[in-house]
Amino acid sequence: MNIVMAQYKLTYFNAKGRGEPARYMFHLAGVDFEDFRIELQDWEEWKPKMQAINPMGKLPILEIDGEIRVFQSNAINRYLARIFGFWGSNAQEQAQIDVIYETLIELLTPLYPIYAEKDEEKKNEMLKKFKDENVEETLKNIDKLWESNNKCGDYLVGDKISLADIFFFTYVNDILTRFLPDFNLNGHPKLKALAERVAAKPQIEKWLKERPVTER
C-alpha cells in the first residue's frame, strides 16, 4: 500500500474527543484524508449505517481505500502511528511510547462518572479530586518516565515526535480543558514546554486555527 496515495476516511462525531489524535497525525504526516463528521443529534439515524461497517456500531471508524477498516480509537491511533512514523525507531522505543499512551488512556476512565453526574455541586467536588489526585499523579509519573526514557530531550521518547507526545497534547489541550477550563501546566514547566512545542508544529498550528469549533 502506498501510504501517501491511499485514500483515507475517518468517520467520527463533529467533536474532538476520540477522533482528534488521528486528525493530528494525518496533519502532521501531511497525508490527505476525508474528515467525515456526524452530528451528535443525528447519531440514531446514522447508527444502522455505521453498524453495517462496524459490527460494534461505534465510532471512530478508519477506512483505507474503501477496503481496510480499523475500529476502536486506540487501535486506529496505533495503526496510524505505525504507518506514519510516530511509533518509535525500535522495539524499546515502541514499548516506551505505549507505556505513556496507556498511562494517559487510564486517565480517561475517571472522567466518565464525572461527565454523567447531574448534581453540579457533587460534580465540582469530583472534578477537584480528579485534578488534585489523578491528574497531578499522572503528570508527575510522565515527568519521571520522560527522564527515564530520554533524559528530558525534546520529546517524551526518542528524538522525534511520537504518539506519546501527540496523545499527551490531545489530553491536556482538548480533553482536560473541557472539564477543567482553568487547567494549566504551570506546575510542570517541562511538560508545558512540550505541549507548546507540539502546538508550534506548523501543521498543528494551522489545524488548530482552521478546525471546526465544537463544544466537545
The crossing angle, in degrees rounded to 10, of helices 163-170 and 73-84 is 140
What pLDDT, in 10s, does the model give residues 89-135? 999 999 999 999 999 999 999 999 998 999 999 999 999 999 999 99
- Cell 533524559: give the residue: 151
Spans of all domains in the chain: 8-85, 91-201
- How confident is the model at residue 113, as a pLDDT? 94
Residues of the chain with pLDDT under 70: 1-4, 152
Cross-strand bridge partners of residue 63: 9, 69
Alpha helices in the chain (DSSP H): 20-29, 43-53, 73-84, 91-106, 111-116, 120-129, 136-150, 163-170, 176-179, 189-199, 202-210
Residue with cell 489526585: 133
CA pair distance 17, 27, nearest whole angstrom: 17
What is residue 9's three-state secondary structure?
strand
- Other CB atoms within 10 A of residue 120 CB: 8
Query: Residue 147: which region, alpha, beta or left (left: phi > 0; alpha: psi -120 to 50)?
Result: alpha
**What's the pLDDT at 1?**
62
CATH architecture of 8-85: 3-Layer(aba) Sandwich (3.40)
The whole-number pLDDT of residue 4 equals: 64
Which CATH number applies to 91-201?
Answer: 1.20.1050.10
Return all residues near 83 (Cβ < 8 A) that are at least 6 apart: 3
